[in-house]
């Protein structure tokens, strides 16, 4: 009993200590606004993202079914959460703290805004302020991302361009770009996120030992996350990985493999033993027949 | 068994009296009907227990995920072990040339056939999906020791049956004219099974050759059957089973159980059928000496099996051994070692205890201990897997055999007794012609 | 069409449980007939479509089973009809070009047991039947206790598979050890052989035996579960086929699990969905395997329970208290 109270006390103390440290987003994030207006489509998309990424801890908003962790993950419809500005929520999802993981590498920023759109649907008093950069629609300037393989240095060079009404096609500078290598279950970050220079270019180091497919192809994903442009992604395949072919794990003969992959020595030993033993047994059965043949027709009683 | 047979014994007057003695109990008697009735009714109850298990699943046993092999597997090992004595007596001792095994050989073969035949059924009683037994033959993986076991048990059963049947052919021929007191169908069976035997020298020559082949073949087969059975455990990584001497350890243990079973059956045959002329005190004395010998060998393997890991006390082994030596299993462990091994060895060193009745009592104790010894080999190892048993119902942590499980096990023992009873009751239990041949030799020697 | 393929699937399922009964046989035949008719119709229609679209192909990128991306004309894509035979065939083959691995970060496990419930839900198990179980471990008296989730280790030298007499449990090319409960004879040799106590046996009718009756058997999900047969962790191979993370991995709220492909040297965290280099993760955190001295070569790695962000707090056995 005492032990239980004691643990309770610890839980309370820890959670007080953590909740005492108020989580404040930096000022520049605090005032960030969504590049697009929240509508039914964004709410719906946000709900889907929320259900796969957030529900496992936070539960469904308004249902108070969050997982019992210490400190407890807050319900997203609560006053405490909703008191945050859009920018603050965006920051907290991206960066994380303690048990709350950082999602900046796994959920693109547009998708984070969609999640916020979904969360705000639980707040009747919410009125959205949309970023001034954008007229309210989700229209994205026609930014082009090009990837180049710099063979000598083993790096990937990226160039960003966007058409402009006045000057034709122009490089996009000071934009943050991330590159990922696609893997079976997720995207592996390649190098750190980099900002494009004045020429709209950035150079990423590519690991020398990253396995590609059987001919070394690696699927790359370049993502431009920018409040002004929204998310721009480009998908390319380059033969820059280590060609990797590894034999199926059940290829060799082994005791644990299927019958057709029996070790030869076992197959031989078993077959020889069985054939040998049963050969003699059959021979003896034939001898019984021989005995019977030998005695047939003769007077069986004479001897006895 | 001599390589040549002097068929003079067929004309010896003593043949008639020997045949009469041995064939007297053959046939259906009041006692037989009562006994079989009792066995049959008991068996019905056991079959009902199996029906419950078939219907409800193995949940009706005390087995659960952690201790998932119990009484059935122990019983299987016991059956295979006991059946091994057929090889020891008729083959090893017979081939070496010990004359005293002659009247016992057939008893040993009956035990071999009965236990080997039912061993297969015992293993089926342990299966979660008995109706899929044919899969073992359809999809058998020859890397699995179970397939090796199925192969050698089948082979052993066939060879044992042949070793029971072949030397009996001349007896059947001798007997078929002398069993007028038995039902017609039995006489007909004798007629068919005696395969036109009329004691020609050529027939004897063929027969002796066939028997000799089987006697030699059964030695590796018998070694294989019990070694493979021991491998069902030894090929796993578990402390207590992960032992390289499991093969010989099981094999020598088998001879102890089998010899005890033979003594028990000898005693029954001798007293019930008044065959003390053929199963003499000398035979019991020799069997007593044999039992001491195999027990000492088995004791030696026991010391190896327990002392060596006990000296080192490796973490996982130590938990297991502590459980056996001073823990939960200590009572059963020491009872089995003392009553089943140490005390019988000490007692049987004295001639008094090698007389029929003391031998009978000692053998019963040894055989029961042998059964529990198998349980000790099978169960305690599973009590302590490498990783702790957690978050499961308390009942899953200990093995508590149920009534259903025990009834099914008893049922398999009843089946063995039924087979033995039938074979003993319908066929000559002691080789008539070999006894007569021996008598003839004695007679001709005394004439000289 | 989907309805018809379902009914065709039923025919192959549960041979040993479906009674040979003429009424059902009639329905089976009727189902087969309609499936054939519709399939025939579809074939004619697609042939027509093909002729029509010959001029300009609409190309689609497709991931092949050996993990390469190829382009094929959209109208040449054929749906694979999924029935029990197909499920068994693909389930025994496994996914080409992959070697799946799991990494379990013990520093993060605080015994939330979400992995367990998600797994039991997906595989129709009782609360005390585990494909994965979280154990309280303590190496010796003075070392720290910790929680250790323990799935099947999917060994590369699997002692359980070696002893199976009927090929009911087997190892696939992608490393996953599966169980075919339509083959299993229930001898439990594999339970005896497994040093990780990773296998369970259905001593009685499984939890959802009634409601699962008649469903085509999915060997990669091991549902329907069957009385008298073995079940075990399958690395959620049904989900892997779709490129999704296993049930337990996605359900963990604490970021304990990483799952991925050794061939791609990458594992993805089930909670944060972040992807890491497998080799680096193991190197930086001094990853290890469970009882490697047994020579089983597990496909599950553990990261040691150091620098934990929470206090170790042992709870009472939930199952023992309720049963």
List chains touching B (3+ CB pairs under 8 A). Answer: A, C
For residue C79, give every residue at least 6 positions away whose Cβ sits within 8 Å of its Cβ, in sequence order, or none. none
Task: Confirm or reject contact between A292 and chain B (CB < 8 A).
Answer: yes
The string of pLDDT tens digits covering residues B245-286 is 999 999 999 999 999 999 999 999 999 998 988 999 999 999
CB contact under 8 A, A304 and B158: no
Cα(first)–Cα(last) distance of chain C, in Å?
Answer: 46
Task: Report pLDDT for B261.
Answer: 96
Which of these CATH numbers, 1.10.490.10, 3.40.190.10, 1.10.760.10, 3.30.9.10, describes A20-120? 1.10.760.10
CB B428 within 8 A of CB B168: yes
Q: Mean pLDDT over residues B55-73, rounded? A: 95
Residue A162, Cβ density class (10 Å: 0-12 exposed, 13-18 middle, ≥19 buried): middle
Distance from CA of A233 to the nearest CA of C (A): 17
Nearest 5°: CA angle at A187, between A183 and A193? 140
Q: What backbone torsions phi and psi does residue A156 show, to the nearest 5 degrees?
A: -110, 130
Distance from CA of B435 to the nearest CA of C (A): 46
Q: How far apart are CA A116 and CA A32, in angstroms?
A: 12
Torsion of CA A196, A199, A205, A208, to 10 degrees: 140
For residue C168, give every residue at least 6 positions away whose Cβ sits within 8 Å of its Cβ, in sequence order, or none. C179, C180, C181, C183, C184, C185, C229, C230
**Which parts of chain C register pLDDT below 50?**
1-33, 47-55, 320-323
DSSP B191-231: HHHTTT----HHHHHHHHHHHHHHHHHHHHHHHHHHHHHHH
Distance from CA of A224 to the nearest CA of C (A): 18
Local structure of residue C83 (DSSP, 8 states): -
Nearest to B145 by CA among C192, C294, A272: C192
Residues C72, C94, single domain; the answer is: no
How far from the centroid of its chain's Cα atoms is residue B73's Cα?
Answer: 15
Nearest to A236 by CA among C73, C69, C263, C260: C69
CB C167 within 8 A of CB A261: no
Test mutation, A284, A285, A289, chain B, max B CBs within 10 A: A284
CB contact under 8 A, C265 and A102: no
Residue B33's pLDDT band (boundaries 50, 70, 90)? very high
DSSP B375-424: HHHHSHHHHS-SS---SS-GGGSS----HHHHHHHHHHHHHHHHHHHHHH
CB A102 within 8 A of CB A94: yes
Residues C137, C209, single domain; the answer is: yes
Task: Report pLDDT for B38.
Answer: 97
Domain A20-120 and domain A144-238, same fold? Reply is no
For residue B280, give every residue at least 6 positions away whose Cβ sits within 8 Å of its Cβ, in sequence order, or none. none
pLDDT > 90? residue B344: yes
Test mutation, A266, A268, A272, A300, chain B, max B CBs within 10 A: A300
Residues C189, C270, single domain; the answer is: yes
Residue whose tokens read 């499980």: B405
CB contact under 8 A, A187 and C275: yes
The string of pLDDT tens digits covering residues B114-125 is 999 999 999 999
Complex ipTM over 0.90:
yes
A70 contacts on C by Cβ (under 8 Å): 310
Q: Show the tokens assigned to A166.
A: 């006045």
Distance from CA of A283 to the nearest CA of C (A): 30
Distance from CA of A269 to the nearest CA of B (A): 11
Please tell me which residue of chain C has the smallest CA distance to A255.
Answer: C162
What percent of chain B is predicted at pLDDT more than 90? 82
The string of pLDDT tens digits covering residues B98-109 is 989 999 999 999
Q: Mean pLDDT over residues B429-433, rounded? A: 93
Test mutation, A13, A100, A185, chain C, max C CBs within 10 A: A185
Q: How far apart are CA B103 and CA B108, in angstroms?
A: 10
Test mutation, C131, C171, C181, C185, chain B, max B CBs within 10 A: C185
How far from the centroid of its chain's Cα atoms is residue A134's Cα?
Answer: 31
Q: How many CB atoms lie within 10 A of CB B267?
A: 20
Last residue of a domain, one of C33, C52, C81: C81
**CA distances for B133 relative to A118, B126, B138, C78, angstroms:** 58, 11, 9, 40
Nearest to A248 by CA among C102, C64, C175: C175
Residues C267, C215, single domain; the answer is: yes
Task: Confirm or reject contact between A278 and chain B (CB < 8 A).
Answer: yes
Length of chain C: 323
Task: Confirm or reject contact between A217 and chain C (CB < 8 A).
Answer: yes
Task: Report pLDDT for B270.
Answer: 94
Residues C18, C143, single domain; the answer is: no
pLDDT > 90? residue B72: yes
The reply to whether omega before C224 is within 30° of 0 (cis) is yes
Fold adopted by B7-439: Formate dehydrogenase/DMSO reductase fold (1.20.1630)
Task: Confirm or reject contact between C186 and chain B (CB < 8 A).
Answer: yes
Task: Report pLDDT for C322.
Answer: 40
* CATH at residue C231: 3.30.70.20
Length of chain A: 304
Task: Report pLDDT for C51.
Answer: 47
CATH architecture of A144-238: Sandwich (2.60)
Please tell me which residue of chain B has the smallest CA distance to A294.
Answer: B203
DSSP B55-77: HH-GGGSS--SSS---HHHHHHH
Test mutation, B135, B204, B206, chain A, max A CBs within 10 A: B206
- H or E element at residue B141: none
Task: Report pLDDT for C116.
Answer: 96
Residues C184, C312, single domain; the answer is: yes
A302 contacts on B by Cβ (under 8 Å): 198
Domain boundaries, chain A: 20-120, 144-238
C164 contacts on B by Cβ (under 8 Å): 141, 144
Q: How many CB atoms lie within 10 A of CB A198?
A: 8
CB contact under 8 A, A99 and C254: yes
For residue B246, give every residue at least 6 positions away whose Cβ sits within 8 Å of its Cβ, in sequence order, or none. B230, B231, B233, B234
Residues 222 through 261 of chain A touching chain C, CB cutoff 8 Å: 237, 244, 246, 248-251, 254-259
Domain boundaries, chain B: 7-439
Pairing of strands A218-226, A230-238: antiparallel
Q: Show the tokens assigned to C215.
A: 């469903």
What percent of chain B is predicted at pLDDT more than 70? 99
Range of the domain at C258: 88-322
Nearest to C123 by CA among C199, C236, C249: C236
Task: Confirm or reject contact between B219 and chain A (CB < 8 A).
Answer: no
CB contact under 8 A, C112 and A69: yes
Distance from CA of A287 to the nearest CA of C (A): 35
CB B347 within 8 A of CB B362: yes
Task: Confirm or reject contact between C145 and chain B (CB < 8 A).
Answer: no
- Between B and C, how many residue pairs show a Cβ–Cβ distance under 8 A? 145
CB A255 within 8 A of CB B143: yes
Q: pLDDT per position in chain A (304 positions), as tens?
A: 555 665 655 655 555 555 556 788 888 788 888 878 888 888 888 888 888 888 878 888 888 788 777 778 888 888 888 888 888 888 888 888 877 888 877 787 788 888 888 888 888 888 887 765 543 333 456 788 889 999 889 899 999 888 877 778 888 888 888 999 999 999 999 999 898 898 989 999 999 999 998 899 999 999 887 666 667 788 888 899 999 999 999 999 999 999 999 999 999 999 999 999 999 999 999 999 999 998 887 654 444 4
Please tell me which residue of chain C has the smallest CA distance to A187.
Answer: C275
Residue whose tokens read 């092949």: C64
Helices B356-378 and B330-337: crossing angle in degrees, nearest 10, is 140
CB contact under 8 A, B143 and A281: no
Residues 300 through 319 of chain C touching chain B, CB cutoff 8 Å: 317-319
Cα(first)–Cα(last) distance of chain A, in Å?
Answer: 92
Q: Show the tokens assigned to C112.
A: 């939330």
Q: How many CB atoms lie within 10 A of CB C288?
A: 14
Q: How many CB atoms lie within 10 A of CB B332?
A: 17
The string of pLDDT tens digits covering residues A57-109 is 888 888 878 877 777 888 888 888 888 888 888 888 888 887 788 887 778 77
Half-sphere exposure of B211 (CA within 13 A, CB side): 26
For residue A165, give every residue at least 6 positions away whose Cβ sits within 8 Å of its Cβ, in sequence order, or none. none
E-assigned strands of chain A?
Answer: 144-150, 155-164, 168-171, 176-182, 187-195, 201-205, 218-226, 230-238
Q: Show the tokens assigned to A107.
A: 């959920």
CB A250 within 8 A of CB A261: yes
Task: Confirm or reject contact between C136 and chain B (CB < 8 A).
Answer: yes
Q: Show the tokens assigned to A261.
A: 């992959």
CB contact under 8 A, B166 and A284: yes
Q: Mean pLDDT over residues B291-307, rounded? A: 96
Q: How far apart are CA B373 and CA B324, in angstroms?
A: 12
Task: Report pLDDT for A138.
Answer: 38
Residues C101, C235, single domain; the answer is: yes
Per DSSP, what are the bridge partners of residue C60?
Answer: C72
Q: How far apart are CA B12 and CA B174, in angstroms?
A: 13
The string of pLDDT tens digits covering residues B131-164 is 999 999 999 999 999 999 999 999 999 999 999 9
Length of chain B: 448
Please tell me which residue of chain C has the smallest CA distance to A8.
Answer: C313
Task: Confirm or reject contact between C135 and chain B (CB < 8 A).
Answer: yes
Nearest to C214 by CA among C6, C22, C13, C3: C13
Task: Report pLDDT for A23.
Answer: 83
Q: How many domains does chain C have?
A: 2
Q: How far apart are CA B187 and CA B199, in angstroms?
A: 19
Q: Show the tokens assigned to A293.
A: 């043949």
Residue B130's pLDDT band (boundaries 50, 70, 90)? very high
Q: How far apart are CA C36 and CA C33, in angstroms?
A: 5
Task: Report pLDDT for B205.
Answer: 93
Please tell me which residue of chain B has the smallest CA distance to C323.
Answer: B393
For residue A59, give every residue at least 6 positions away whose Cβ sits within 8 Å of its Cβ, in sequence order, or none. A65, A66, A67, A73, A75
Q: How far apart are CA B258 and CA C156, in angstroms?
A: 42
Residues C14, C133, single domain; the answer is: no
- Region class of C113: left (phi > 0), else alpha (psi between -120 and 50), else beta: left
Lowest mean pLDDT among B43-47, B176-180, C270-274, C313-317: C313-317
How far from the centroid of its chain's Cα atoms is residue A45's Cα?
Answer: 18
């Amino acid at each position: 009993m005492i032990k239980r109270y004691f643990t309770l006390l610890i839980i309370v103390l820890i959670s007080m200590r953590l909740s005492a440290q108020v989580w404040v987003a930096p000022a520049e994030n605090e005032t960030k606004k969504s590049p697009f207006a929240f509508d039914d489509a964004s709410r719906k998309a946000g709900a889907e993202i929320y259900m796969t990424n957030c529900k496992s801890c936070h539960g469904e908003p308004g249902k108070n079914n969050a997982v019992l962790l210490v400190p407890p993950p807050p319900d997203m419809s609560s006053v405490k959460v909703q008191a945050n500005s859009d920018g603050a929520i965006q920051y907290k999802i991206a960066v994380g703290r303690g048990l709350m993981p950082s999602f900046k590498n796994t959920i693109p920023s547009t998708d984070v805004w969609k999640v916020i759109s979904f969360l705000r649907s639980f707040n009747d008093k919410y009125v959205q302020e949309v970023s001034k950069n954008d007229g309210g629609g989700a229209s994205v300037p026609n930014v082009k991302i090009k990837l180049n393989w710099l063979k000598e240095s083993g790096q990937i060079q990226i160039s960003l361009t966007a058409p402009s009404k006045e000057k034709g096609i122009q490089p996009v500078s000071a934009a943050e770009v991330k590159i990922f290598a696609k893997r079976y279950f997720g995207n592996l970050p390649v190098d750190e996120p980099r900002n494009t220079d004045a020429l709209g270019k950035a150079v990423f180091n590519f690991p020398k030992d990253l396995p590609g497919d059987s001919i070394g192809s690696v699927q790359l994903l370049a993502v431009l996350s920018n409040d002004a442009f929204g998310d721009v992604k480009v998908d390319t395949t380059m033969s820059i990985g280590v060609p990797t072919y590894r034999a199926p794990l059940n290829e060799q003969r082994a005791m644990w493999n299927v019958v057709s992959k029996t070790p030869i020595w076992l197959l031989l030993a078993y077959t020889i033993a069985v054939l040998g033993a049963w050969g003699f047994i059959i021979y003896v059965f034939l001898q019984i027949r021989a005995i019977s043949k030998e005695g047939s027709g003769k007077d069986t009683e004479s001897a006895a | 068994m001599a390589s040549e047979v002097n068929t003079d014994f067929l004309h010896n007057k003593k043949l008639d009296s020997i045949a009469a003695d041995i064939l007297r109990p053959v046939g259906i008697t009041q006692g037989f009907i009562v006994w079989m009735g009792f066995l049959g009714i008991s068996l019905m109850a056991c079959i009902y227990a199996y029906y419950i298990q078939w219907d409800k699943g193995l949940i009706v046993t005390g087995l659960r995920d952690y201790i998932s092999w119990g009484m059935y597997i122990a019983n299987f090992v016991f059956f295979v072990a006991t059946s091994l004595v057929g090889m020891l007596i008729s083959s090893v001792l017979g081939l070496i040339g010990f004359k005293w095994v002659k009247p016992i050989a057939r008893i040993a073969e009956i035990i071999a056939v009965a236990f080997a035949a039912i061993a297969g059924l015992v293993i089926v009683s342990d299966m979660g999906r008995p109706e899929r037994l044919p899969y073992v033959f359809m999809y058998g993986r020859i890397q699995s020791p179970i397939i090796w076991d199925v192969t050698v048990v089948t082979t052993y059963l066939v060879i044992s049956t042949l070793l029971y049947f072949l030397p009996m052919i001349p007896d059947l021929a001798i007997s078929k004219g002398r069993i007028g007191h038995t039902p017609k169908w039995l006489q007909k069976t004798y007629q068919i099974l005696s395969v036109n035997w009329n004691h020609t020298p050529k027939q004897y020559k063929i027969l002796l050759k066939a028997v000799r082949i089987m006697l030699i073949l059964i030695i590796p087969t018998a070694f294989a059957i019990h070694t493979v059975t021991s491998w069902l455990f030894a090929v796993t990584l578990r402390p207590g089973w992960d032992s390289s001497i499991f093969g010989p350890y099981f094999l020598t243990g088998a001879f102890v159980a089998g010899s005890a079973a033979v003594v028990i059956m000898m005693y029954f045959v001798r007293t019930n059928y008044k065959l003390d002329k053929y199963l003499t005190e000398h035979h019991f004395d020799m069997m007593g000496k044999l039992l001491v010998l195999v027990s000492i060998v088995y004791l030696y393997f026991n010391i190896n099996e327990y002392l060596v890991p006990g000296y080192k006390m490796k973490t996982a082994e130590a938990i297991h051994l502590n459980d056996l030596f001073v823990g939960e299993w200590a009572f059963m462990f020491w009872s089995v070692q003392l009553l089943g091994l140490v005390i019988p060895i000490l007692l049987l060193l004295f001639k008094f205890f090698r007389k029929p009745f003391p031998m009978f009592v000692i053998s019963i104790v040894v055989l029961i201990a042998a059964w529990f010894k198998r349980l000790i080999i099978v169960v305690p190892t599973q009590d302590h897997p490498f990783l702790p048993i957690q978050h499961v119902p308390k009942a899953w942590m200990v093995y508590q055999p149920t009534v259903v499980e025990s009834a099914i096990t008893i049922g398999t023992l009843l089946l063995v007794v039924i087979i033995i009873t039938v074979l003993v009751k319908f066929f000559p239990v002691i080789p008539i012609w070999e006894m007569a041949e021996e008598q003839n030799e004695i007679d001709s020697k005394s004439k000289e | 069409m989907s309805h018809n393929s379902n009914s065709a699937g039923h025919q192959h399922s549960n041979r040993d449980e479906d009674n040979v009964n003429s009424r059902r046989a009639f329905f089976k035949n009727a189902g087969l007939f309609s499936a054939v008719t519709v399939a025939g119709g579809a074939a004619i229609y697609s042939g027509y479509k093909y002729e029509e679209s010959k001029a300009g192909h609409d190309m689609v990128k497709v991931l092949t089973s050996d993990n390469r991306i190829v382009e094929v004309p959209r109208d040449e894509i054929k749906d694979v009809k999924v029935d029990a035979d197909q499920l068994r065939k693909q389930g025994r083959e496994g996914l080409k070009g992959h070697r799946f691995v799991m990494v379990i970060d013990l520093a993060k496990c605080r015994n939330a047991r979400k992995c367990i419930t998600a797994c039991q839900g997906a595989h129709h198990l009782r609360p005390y039947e585990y494909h994965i179980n979280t154990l309280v471990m303590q190496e010796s008296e003075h070392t720290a206790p910790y929680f250790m989730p323990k799935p099947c280790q999917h060994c590369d030298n699997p002692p359980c598979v070696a002893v199976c007499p009927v090929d009911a449990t087997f190892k696939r090319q992608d490393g996953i050890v599966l169980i075919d409960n339509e083959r299993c004879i229930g001898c439990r040799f594999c339970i005896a052989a497994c040093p990780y106590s990773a296998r369970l046996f259905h001593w009685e009718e499984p939890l959802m035996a009634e409601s699962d009756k008649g469903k085509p058997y999915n060997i990669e999900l091991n549902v329907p579960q069957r009385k008298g047969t073995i079940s075990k962790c399958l690395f959620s191979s049904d989900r892997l086929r779709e490129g999704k993370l296993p049930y337990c991995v996605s359900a963990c709220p604490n970021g304990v699990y990483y799952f991925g492909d050794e061939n791609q040297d990458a594992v993805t965290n089930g909670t944060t969905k972040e992807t890491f280099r497998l080799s680096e993760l193991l190197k930086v955190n001094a990853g290890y395997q469970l009882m490697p001295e047994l020579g089983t070569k597990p496909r599950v790695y553990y990261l040691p329970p150091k620098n934990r962000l929470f206090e170790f707090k042992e709870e009472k056995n939930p199952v023992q208290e309720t049963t």
